[in-house]
């Protein structure tokens, strides 16, 4: 995960042939000045082949080298560039500008803010530690007893399929930071932690389900979820987040 914090050498801003000028409003904040939180606005030439991440890189490269955001893979895999784009949580590298560019004479104004519910450190970068604390609290690793096996732990295809969806999580935090319960009280574990608990609770090779279920039965656990589906809508991996939470609730009510 890379924090893009250092200014890149400013060069004349190129305007590629075929590009369309887009107004981009960016939420800014820095402890290095006394401006507090405010909106900045940039005019960026955008090509249909761009992702929104390219727009941010353009601003940083040519318009304002102090703009700060995280990114790493640029291909929807590392989960580091979650941000609130036009009011919804998205990975900047997965927002295709061809889907947003206006037709004809219309103009396009976009906004980008940090994800909500976590402390803002600078511009679009938030402190992810509270999010990872909740992830660690559900013990997201294989728990077994007895001697180490001498070969791999066998699992049927049907047993593997039971938790396939929740293996896809890239810990981007789009779900947790779109959750109104998490906004109102950060002590809620949040959907991402529950998704990662689900991944092991329903793994036939694991023996830690009871322990994790007890953790999630806590006052800050699954029962705080109000089934509003914001998390499912926000997930860039298409994980059925709310369904996973419901399955954990059912496992608590009945048996796994």
Q: Which residues bind ligand SF4 (CB under 6 A)?
A: 169-175, 179, 181, 191-192, 195, 225-231, 234-235, 237, 239, 241-242, 245
Q: Shortest distance, CB of residue 168 to ligand SF4, whole angstroms?
A: 7
- How many residues does the structure list for the chain? 256
77 is a contact residue toward ligand FES (CB under 6 A)? yes
Q: Mention every residue, 6+ apart, whose C-beta is less than 8 A from residue 101.
A: 20, 22, 46, 48, 108
Cβ(244)–Cβ(225) under 8 Å? Answer: no
Determine the interface stretch with ligand FES among 20-28, 41-49, 79-87, 189-197 (rule: CB under 6 A): 79-87
Q: Shortest distance, CB of residue 75 to ligand FES, whole angstroms?
A: 6
Which one of 80, 177, 178, 196 is in contact with ligand FES (CB under 6 A)?
A: 80
Selection from ligand FES, ligand SF4, none that 175 binds (CB < 5 to 8 A by kind) is ligand SF4
Backbone torsions φ then ψ of 247, nearest 5 degrees:
-65, -35
Interaxial angle between packed helices 241-253 and 191-201, expressed in degrees from 0 to 180 and rounded to the nearest 10: 60
Q: Shortest distance, CB of residue 187 to ligand SF4, whole angstroms?
A: 13
Selection from ligand SF4, ligand FES, none that 143 binds (CB < 5 to 8 A by kind) is none
* Sheet strands (E) in the chain: 2-4, 20-28, 38-46, 69-71, 82-85, 88-91, 108-113, 120-122, 125-126
Selection from ligand FES, ligand SF4, none that 76 binds (CB < 5 to 8 A by kind) is ligand FES
- Of the candidates 241, 101, 256, the one whose C-alpha atom is nearest the C-alpha of residue 171 is 241
Selection from ligand FES, ligand SF4, none that 192 binds (CB < 5 to 8 A by kind) is ligand SF4
How far, in whole angstroms, is CA 144 from its chain's centroid?
30
* Binding-site ranges for ligand FES (CB under 6 A): 71-74, 76-81, 91, 93
């Amino acid at each position: 995960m890379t924090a893009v914090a250092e200014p890149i050498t400013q060069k004349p801003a190129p305007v590629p042939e075929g590009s369309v000028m887009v107004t981009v409003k960016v939420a800014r904040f820095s402890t290095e000045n006394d401006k507090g939180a405010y909106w900045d606005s940039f005019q960026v030439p955008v090509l249909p082949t761009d992702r929104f991440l390219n727009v941010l890189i353009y601003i940083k490269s040519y318009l304002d080298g102090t703009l700060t955001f995280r990114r790493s893979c640029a291909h929807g895999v590392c989960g580091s560039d979650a941000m609130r784009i036009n009011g919804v949580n998205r990975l900047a590298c997965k927002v295709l500008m061809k889907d947003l560019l206006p037709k004809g004479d219309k103009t396009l104004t976009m906004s980008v803010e940090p994800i909500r519910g976590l402390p803002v450190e600078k511009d679009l970068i938030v402190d992810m530690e509270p999010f990872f604390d909740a992830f660690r609290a559900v013990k997201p690793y294989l728990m077994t007893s007895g001697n180490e096996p001498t070969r791999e732990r066998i699992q049927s295809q049907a047993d593997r399929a039971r938790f396939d969806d929740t293996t896809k999580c890239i810990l981007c935090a789009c779900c947790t930071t779109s959750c109104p319960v998490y906004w109102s009280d950060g002590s809620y574990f949040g959907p991402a932690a529950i998704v990662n608990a689900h991944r092991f609770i329903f793994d036939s090779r694991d023996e830690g389900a009871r322990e994790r279920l007890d953790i999630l039965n806590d006052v800050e656990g699954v029962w705080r979820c109000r089934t509003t589906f914001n998390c499912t809508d926000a997930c860039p991996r298409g994980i059925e987040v709310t369904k996973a939470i419901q399955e954990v609730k059912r496992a608590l009510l009945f048996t796994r």
